Structure 1
Amino acid sequence: MTRTHQDPTPSPWAPVPQSYSHKRNADETLLTSWRRTGPDSFLIRARWPEVHPFYTTRTAGIDPLLFGETIRQCLPTLSHAAYEVPLGHHLLWETYDYELATDDPAASCATPALTPASDRPHDAPHEIVLHAGCHDVTRRGTRASAATVRIRALQGDRLIGTATTRFSIQTPAVYRRLRGEYADIAHALERRLPPPTPLAAPEAGRSRPYDVVLSPTDIPGRHRLRVDTGHPVLFDHDVDHVPGMLLIDAARQAAHAASPVRPARAVGMTTRFSRYVEFDAPCWVETAPDPAAPDRLLVTARQHDRECFTASVALAAEPAASAPLPLDRCGAA
């Protein structure tokens, strides 16, 4: 039963239907179950793959893209399950900010128990519990039309990352009016440019050229966005614009290319989505020191000389790729 925002009663755990994740491939659905704990607070369980062709799962650190995709799937899930948003409505990402927690085992051991024992997965090092709180929720009638979501992600008692994101929701009719001719997916795909030559995979922090979303240019600190709509993870299904997760990966790859330390991991990012990136024109990705944060890099994506996306990226050296420490264990690796 769908509960309204006025009902504070906690609910039992319920499965997350695949359709709620907005992923066509069931293997890419990360969320497994959810429950309400208050009027606008929730617990969501996720299971991360032990091995994945795109996300990095065999290193000592958390893959920021796997973390980001988990957060992204929470948004449609909560919209449909808790806020009466019908399937077929469009979610528009406005901001996404995250910070991955320290990998210091001593710090992890000092973290107090944050999840009731009955809600924690048992003997499952790849299972995550996300504590989600929705704020500044606006509604049209009974359904939500926008919300800010703050999330803490834990494995057992260990905090592994936090995120804050703002998104809005449009009906299909409003979305078509806003997007005009670009709302036609088939037409948008017909006008797509062929993907240019990828940047060398090690420069982008990738092991396969197929996963590189940047192309080199002759200008230092400038790349062309590389959009391959045949990529099975970034383009799980046909869409009419460049997905937000591809832009986040572009920011991560651009920061890695500019970093003097390699391999490096994007342990924090503050992003702003200001307009859609289309398939029919080049998009340029520029990297420079962030004037507001000297320890970060500022990545900006522009198309038709208009700013579409910005990300302030914090990097840290990638932990050694040895046998990973299970997320629910404390001790030396």
Structure 2
Amino acid sequence: MASATLTPYLRDQCHEIEGRFGDGNRPSELTTTVPREYVHRTALSEVFLTNWRRTDDGWVVSAQWPRAHSFYGPVDGLHDPVLIIESIRQAGILLSHVGHHVPLDHPIIWQRVRYDLAPRALRAAEAPAAVELHVTDHDMVHRGKRLASVRQEFRIVCDGADLASATLVYSCHSPAVYRRLRGEYSDVALANSRKLPVPQGVAPQQVARERDRDVVLSPTDRPDRWQLRVDTSHPVLFDHPVDHAPGMLMVEAARQAAQAASPGFTVPASIDCSFARYAELDAPSWVQARTTGRTDDRRQVEVTVEQHGNPVISAQITCVPAP
């Protein structure tokens, strides 16, 4: 989750961008993405945010969703809803740095992420989607002058239409504190040297995927239980080396498990994930789905991920058919 220290040149470039974009003066159209270090991404193609500005009660962060993407691509004419979570992930990290002065090498740790969306507003058009995230900060905790934790509430607009409301709760830790929390697991190289072999995945169609490499569930002897498939070579879910299974992988596992439990209900209209602990790379994690509610037009699914018998995440997902 932590990014490398900026070079002096890139630091100057970031200060220039802050001067142009961070003071409320927004360009009339897209000219650049935000610095990739500000959203903890390595590949420029994985940076979706384009701008930010202050408002009287918070922030507006702009983003552009592509018409095609190697992982978060449109399905049935709809943008991938999980782009919402990736966008608020990037927005939360961006604002921690540019708005609350959290250093770039401080890991950002999730406690909860959720959204509720209007599926029809996901319709993909003939141009990339223009997305605005209206963000307000709540329950802020500081350690000295530095942000320690925050709950951020989002109102998300896509191509001028209200798309979703969302919540992100996270904490910020210095590298020294993170090393104490993680112990030997904080060593990225050591953690990756212990990673398990990647097991065979379920059929992509079972989890609304087109390609084998995008499947994150491996079958077991039970239809409602899977092993988490951790492929550290995946170019999107593992954009850069990390010391644990990343949050977006856990969200994708919950989404795929809900899809497997509710065939035909392909759109996760709401996702609410709570994170209890890290999933390590040196032991299997187990994903289980349970349908908790059924109507003609929706399915409610509870998904849990466990490792060593301990909860890693719990998620409540409501799936609907594509409109």
- Equivalent residue in structure 1 for 2:24, among 11, 16, 20: 11
- In 2, Cα distance between the equivalents of 1:181 and 1:202? 38
Return the alpha-carbon distance in structure 1 between the equivalents of residues 100 and 243 of structure 2: 25
The change in CA–CA distance for 1:145 and 1:104 in structure 2 (over 3 A counts) is closer
Q: CA deviation at 1:61?
A: 2.4
How many positions carry a matched residue from both structures?
295
Aligned to 2:53: 35
Q: Structure 2: which amino acid aligns with 1:309?
A: I
Other-structure match for 2:288: 286
Q: Which deviates more, 134-143 or 197-206? A: 134-143
User: Bigger relative contact order, structure 1 or 2, given CA contacts below 8 A and separation 6+?
Assistant: 1
1:78 to 95, 100, 104: 95
Distance 1:276 1:255, change over 3 A: same
Which residue of structure 2 aligns with residue 183 of structure 1? 186
3-state SS, counterpart of residue 277 of structure 1: coil
Correspondence for 1:303: 307
Letter in 2 for 1:181: E
1:88 aligns with 2:73: no
Q: CA deviation at 1:262?
A: 2.0
Which residue of structure 2 lines up, in the alignment, with residue 231 of structure 1?
234
CA distance in 2, matches of 1:59, 1:89: 39
Which residue in the other structure is 1:101 paired with?
118
- CA-based RMSD of the aligned residues comes to 2.5
The equivalent residue for 2:19 is none
The match for 1:331 is none
Aligned residue type for 1:50: R
Normalising by structure 2, we get a TM-score of: 0.86
SS in structure 2 at match of 1:269 = strand
User: What secondary structure is seen at the aligned counterpart in 2 of 1:160?
Assistant: strand
SS in structure 2 opposite 1:73? Answer: helix
TM-score by length of 1: 0.83
Q: What is the CA distance between 1:176 and its match in structure 2?
A: 0.1
Distance 1:64 1:248 in 2: 11
Q: Is the contact made by 1:272 and 1:309 (CA closer than 8 Å) also made in structure 2?
A: yes
CA distance in 1, matches of 2:229, 2:93: 26
Q: Deviation per CA, 1:287-329: give whole Å up to 9, x if none.
A: 11238x994111000000001101011001124xxxxxxxxxx
Structure 2 segments unaligned to the other structure (5+ residues): 1-13, 16-21, 28-32
Please point out which of 167, 171, 174 is paired with 2:177. 174
Q: 1:222–1:284: 8 Å Cα contact kept in structure 2? A: yes
Q: How does 1:109-148 map to 2 (within 5 A)?
A: 125-148=128-151
Offset from partner CA, 1:70-123 (integer Å, 9 cap, x none): 111011100000001011001010001111114179xx9xxxxxxxxxxxxxx9
In structure 1, list runs of 5 or more residues that go unmatched.
3-8, 109-122, 320-333
Identity of aligned residues (%): 42
Is the contact made by 1:12 and 1:36 (CA closer than 8 Å) also made in structure 2? no
- Measured in 2, the distance between the counterparts of 1:227 and 1:104 equals 32
Contact 2:227 2:287 in 1 (8 A): yes
Instruction: Specify the alignment match of 1:6 in structure 2.
Output: none
Kept in 2, the 8 Å contact 1:10–1:37? The answer is: no
Aligned partner of 1:271 in structure 2 is: 273
Counterparts of 1:188-199 in structure 2 under 5 Å?
188-199=191-202
For residues 229-260 of structure 1, what are the alpha-carbon distances to aligned partners after superposition, in whole Å with 9 as ceiling and x for unaligned? 0000000000000000000000010011111x
